[in-house]
Amino acid sequence: MKKRWARFLDKLAENPLDVKSEKDLKVDLDIDLHSHLIPGIDDGSKSMEDSIAMISRLKGLGYKKLITTPHTMSHRYPNSSNIILDGLFAVREELARRKIDIRIEVASEYYLDEHFLSLLRKKDILTFSGNYLLFEMSYVMAPADLSGMVFKMYEAGYQPVLAHPERYVFMHQDFSRYEALKEMGVLFQLNINSLSGYYSKEVKKVAERIASQGMVDFVGSDTHKMGQLDRLEAMRSSQLLRDVFENNTILNHTLV
For Fe ion, the closer CB: 77 or 158: 77
Name 252's Cβ contacts closer than 8 Å, sequence gap at least 6.
28, 29, 31, 32, 33, 218, 219
- CB under 8 Å, gap of 24 or more: what pairs does 121-125 form? 121/156, 123/156, 123/157, 124/80, 124/81, 125/81, 125/156, 125/158
DSSP annotation of 36: -
Between 224 and 242, CB nearer to Fe ion = 224
Residue closer to Fe ion, measured from CB, 139 or 155: 139
Identify which of residues 109 and 217 has a Cβ nearer to Fe ion in the complex: 109
Closest of 45, 64, 43 to residue 54, by C-alpha: 45
Smallest distance from Fe ion to CB 220, Å: 8
Name the minimum Å distance from CB 191 to Fe ion. Answer: 8
Segment interacting with Fe ion (CB under 5 A) among 22-30, 122-130, 176-184, 215-223: 215-223
For the CA atoms of 20, 23, 26, 31, what is the dihedral angle to 10 degrees?
-120
Which of 200/213 has CB closer to Fe ion? 200
Q: Could you tell me the smallest distance in angstroms from the CB atom of residue 127 to Fe ion?
A: 16
Residue span 164-193 as binding mask against Fe ion, x where in contact by CB under 5 A, dash where not = ------------------------------
Long-range Cβ contact pairs of 182-185 (< 8 A, separation 24 or more): 182/215, 184/147, 184/150, 184/151, 185/154, 185/159, 185/160
Say if CB 188 and CB 182 are below 8 A apart. Answer: yes
Residue 256 Cβ vs Fe ion, minimum distance, rounded to whole Å: 22
Question: Is 35 in contact with 55 (CB distance < 8 Å)?
Answer: no
Question: According to CB under 5 A, which one of 32, 42, 217, 222 is a site residue for Fe ion?
Answer: 222
> At closest approach, how far in Å is the CB of 11 from Fe ion?
46
**How long, in residues, is the chain?**
256
- Using a 10 angstrom Cβ sphere, with 0-12 exposed, 13-18 middle and 19 or more buried, the burial of residue 236 is middle
From the list 99-107, 195-203, 219-227, 229-237, the region that binds Fe ion by CB under 5 A is: 219-227
Q: Are 69 and 109 in contact (CB under 8 A)?
A: yes
State the nearest-atom distance from the C-beta of 10 to Fe ion, in Å: 50
Q: Which parts of 53-112 interact with Fe ion (CB under 5 A)?
A: 109
Rounded CA gap, 133 and 52, in Å? Answer: 26
Residues 105-144 that bind Fe ion (CB under 5 A): 109
193/248 with CB nearer Fe ion: 193
Q: How many residues bind Fe ion (CB under 5 A)?
A: 2
CA 34 from centroid of its chain's CA atoms: 5
Between 32 and 109, name the residue whose CB sits nearer to Fe ion.
109
List residues near Fe ion by CB under 5 A. 109, 222
